[in-house]
Amino acid sequence: ATMGAVKSALSKEVDDQGNVYYTVFWSALRKADRYEIISSVPSVPGIFELYYQDEHKQMNLFFVSKAWYGGLRNWLRKATDASLEENPGRRKLLTDHDCYYRYVEISSYGDMSDVLFFFAETYFPRANRVQSSGRYPNIFVNEVSKEKIISVE
């Protein structure tokens, strides 16, 4: 199988201590385009990330969220449309920069909560915005991405 064919997916293992190890296989990073999102992003639950490209051509993460009700297509279409974005900071990024997205399909709400909890704790430590599922004492996440963009350094 070629790297180009990486399907967005989540794998999961639990060790003897009950710790959980997730591997996130991200979709390819795509430039945000509403028609492409409508035609290519699945209407299934998952987590997505938004990046903007700065003047140095660097990708900068500015939003990560879960998409449960309505699925990834619906959430991404709204989250990448400056006219629908209520947050002024995100609206400015969407208006001023090329923005990109990637996603992972996750069918389990508990698993989605755990992965988002890990990302939130890593990007926004002590913000306590996100609850894990509470099923595991420790959560570890490994990311696989074609573009070598790993959200967690």
User: Which pair of structure tokens corresponds to residue 80?
Assistant: 């990448």
Report d(CA 132, CA 110) in Å as an integer.
8
Residue 121: what are its φ and ψ, rounded to 5°? -65, -30
Dihedral of alpha carbons 61, 63, 65, 71, sign: negative
Stretch 52-71: mean pLDDT: 92
pLDDT at 151: 57
Query: Which pLDDT band, with edges at 50, 70 and 90, does 138 fall under?
Result: very high
pLDDT tens per residue across span 5-50: 457 899 999 999 999 999 999 999 999 999 999 999 999 999 999 9
SS3 113: helix
pLDDT tens per residue across span 96-127: 999 999 999 999 999 999 999 999 888 877 77
153 and 33 Cβ atoms separated by less than 8 Å? no
What pTM was estimated for this model as a whole?
0.88
